[in-house]
Amino acid sequence: MQDALLRLQQEADTDLAAISNADQLESFRVKYFGRKGPFTQLMRQLGAAPKEDRPKLGKMANELKLALQGRFDEKKVDLVGSLAAAGPQLDLSLPGRQVPQGKLHPVTQIMEEICAIFEGLGFSVAEGPDIETDFYNFEALNIPAHHPARDMHDTFYVDDSTLLRTHTSPMQARVMETAEPPLKVIAPGKVYRCDSDITHTPMFHQVEGFLVDKNVSFADLKGVLRVFIAKMFDESTAIRFRPSYFPFTEPSAEVDIACVMCGGKGCRVCKKTGWLEILGAGMIDPEVFKKVNYDPEVYSGFAFGLGVERIAMLKYGINDIRLYYENDLRFLRQF
C-alpha cells in the first residue's frame, strides 16, 4: 500500500504539471478528490492492512492528500491569475464607447467670433485687469467722483480707490496712455456689475473697440459697425443709431439692429419696437484725450462697447442670460 501511495503521488504530480486551462483543472479535481477518487479507494483498502500498520498508512495517505490539495490550490491561483492577465474575453462586435467631447462655452465662441471679425479689419487685441482703479474705470473716462453717470454702473468696490471694472472702457485710457496714434484696438474681457435678473448677471463680457487717428469721423464708426453687424448677423440686417449719452464720447449713440426674431415687425423680444439694442458707441470725448496727453485739435477717434452675452442671446435666440452660467450640459451641448 505504501508503494501504491507513492505511485499515486507521482502520477498526480505529472497530471498537475500538465494542467493549462480551467477544464483540465476541473477534471483533475474530479479525478483525484472526487468521491470515486484514489484516496477514497485507498482508505477503503486500509482495512486489509495489518492492524499495527494502519495508523501509519492512514496518516501517510492523509498527508499526501493534503499536500496535493495545497499544490492543486496553488496551481489554480496561478492559472486564474494568468488568464486574467491575458485580459477579458473580447467581443469585437460590440459598438465602441463614445468619449464625451468637450467644447468651448457659447460665450467664448461668440467672443472669439467677434474678435476675429475686428482682427480681420486690422484691429489688434489688448487685455487689461479685471480689478481696476477708480481712476481708469471712471476718472480717466470723464466720470469724476459724484458724477451722476456713476449710478448707471452698480459698482462692486474693493476699497475706496479699487473696484471690479464695470466696463472695458478703462482700456481706452490704458492703451492711449502708453501708445501714440494711429491706434486700432479691441479689448475683450470680463466686467462686473451688481445686478442680476433674466437679462443681467453680476459678471458678463464686453468687447471694447476704439480707433484714434487724424480726421476720424462718425462715418468711419458707422462703416466699421456696419461691416461688423453684417458679418456677425446677416448682410441684410438693418441697423440704426439712436442718440444717447456717455461721459467719454460726444456725440454718443446706442446702436440697434432689426429684431432677429420678427425681422422688425414687432414682437415680445423687441417689446413691439422692431429693434434690439446691441452696443454703445460714439466719438471719443476731447476730455478723454486731454487725460492721456493727446491733442484733441490734432486727433479724433471713435469708441464702441458691445455686450457679448447680449449678442450671443440674440444670435442663438436665448431669452434668459442666466442659462449661460448654470452649467447645465443639456443647454451647453447645443452649441
Applying CB under 6 A, which residues contact ligand PHE?
167, 169, 208, 246, 249, 280-282, 303-305
Residue nearest to ligand PHE (CB): 305
CA-CA distance, 267 to 244, in Å (whole number)? 24
Is the CB of 30 or the CB of 131 nearer to ligand PHE?
131
C-alpha cell at 335: 452649441
CA-CA distance, 187 to 317, in Å (whole number)? 26
Is the CB of 6 or the CB of 179 nearer to ligand PHE?
179
Q: Which of 260, 231, 256 is nearest to 110 (CA)?
A: 231
**Least distance to ligand PHE, CB of residue 262, Å:** 26
> How buried is 255 (Cβ within 10 angstroms: 0-12 exposed, 13-18 middle, 19+ buried)?
buried
**Least distance to ligand PHE, CB of residue 323, Å:** 22
CA-CA distance, 54 to 298, in Å (whole number)? 124
Is the CB of 57 or the CB of 284 nearer to ligand PHE?
284
- The two beta strands, 300-307 and 275-284, are antiparallel
**Least distance to ligand PHE, CB of residue 145, Å:** 18
Is the CB of 168 or the CB of 270 nearer to ligand PHE?
168
**Least distance to ligand PHE, CB of residue 230, Å:** 20
Is the CB of 143 or the CB of 258 nearer to ligand PHE?
143
CA-CA distance, 287 to 147, in Å (whole number)? 15
**Least distance to ligand PHE, CB of residue 171, Å:** 10
For residue 7, the SS3 value is helix
Residue with cell 501708445: 179
C-alpha cell at 245: 449719452
Contacts of 331 (CB under 8 A, 6+ apart): 323
**Least distance to ligand PHE, CB of residue 290, Å:** 17
Is the CB of 54 or the CB of 200 nearer to ligand PHE?
200
Contacts of 32 (CB under 8 A, 6+ apart): 12, 15, 38, 39, 68, 72
My answer on whether omega of the bond before 251 falls inside 30° of 0, hence cis, is yes
Over the Cα atoms of the chain, what is R_g? 42
Is the CB of 57 or the CB of 206 nearer to ligand PHE?
206
Is the CB of 255 or the CB of 270 nearer to ligand PHE?
255
C-alpha cell at 75: 496551481
**Least distance to ligand PHE, CB of residue 193, Å:** 9
**Least distance to ligand PHE, CB of residue 172, Å:** 7
